[in-house]
Amino acid sequence: MPFRIDGNWQTASLATYSFMPPRAKAANITGLPSPLKAQTIANIDALAVTALKEELPMALVRQAARVYAKAEMASSVRSDSKRRHNETDYGAIAMQIFNVVSEQADRRSWLTLPQQAQIARSYVDAGQYNVGLDSRSTAEITIETGRTTLVWAIDTGNYTRFYSIII
């Protein structure tokens, strides 16, 4: 949001996060004696919106402090220039342009979040299994007698990664 303070252009920006439809469908897990259908256990979009709302007061304070510091810096550069030459100060103009162009809300942590988390559970006999997620890629996992094997998959749309650990 651009605005002027003492004749100098400033900008302020805050991160926003909106729900992203459509929702991911329940994943189908194949490669076990009987297929599994995962169920959603967490709606990450809703958690992100809640976290952003909780952080808003502090974000507003930080943003106000940044705008104040930039305005003071621009004002001091402008007044120094007027005292010295009483002519157009291209440095002050460049600073204003840089402030307007470079101001962006930091949304990196919001943009990398998954849409949701899902879970499925099954008891299977010991052995080797080629587990697949939604009939795309598969990974070989080992199930040992008397042990618990946790398998998790991360599906980024283009690629699915599988991880497993025996505990």
Domain that holds residue 55: 2-22+43-117
Q: Hey, what are 88's tokens?
A: 């157009």
Closest CA to 99 of 77, 120, 124: 77
Identify whether 63 is part of a domain. yes
Instruction: Supply the pLDDT for residue 151.
Output: 92
Identify whether 101 is part of a domain. yes
Instruction: Supply the pLDDT for residue 2.
Output: 62
Identify whether 62 is part of a domain. yes
Identify whether 140 is part of a domain. no
Identify whether 111 is part of a domain. yes
The tens-digit pLDDT sequence of the chain (167 residues) is 666 666 666 677 777 666 565 567 888 999 999 989 999 888 887 787 788 888 888 888 888 887 787 777 767 766 655 555 555 567 667 766 776 666 666 666 666 777 788 999 999 999 999 999 887 788 999 999 999 999 998 887 788 889 999 99
Identify whether 29 is part of a domain. no
Identify whether 136 is part of a domain. no
Identify whether 150 is part of a domain. no
Give the count of domains, the chain.
Answer: 1
CA distances for 54 relative to 13, 50, 58, 119, angstroms: 17, 6, 9, 27
CA–CA gap between residue 132 and residue 30 (Å, rounded): 5
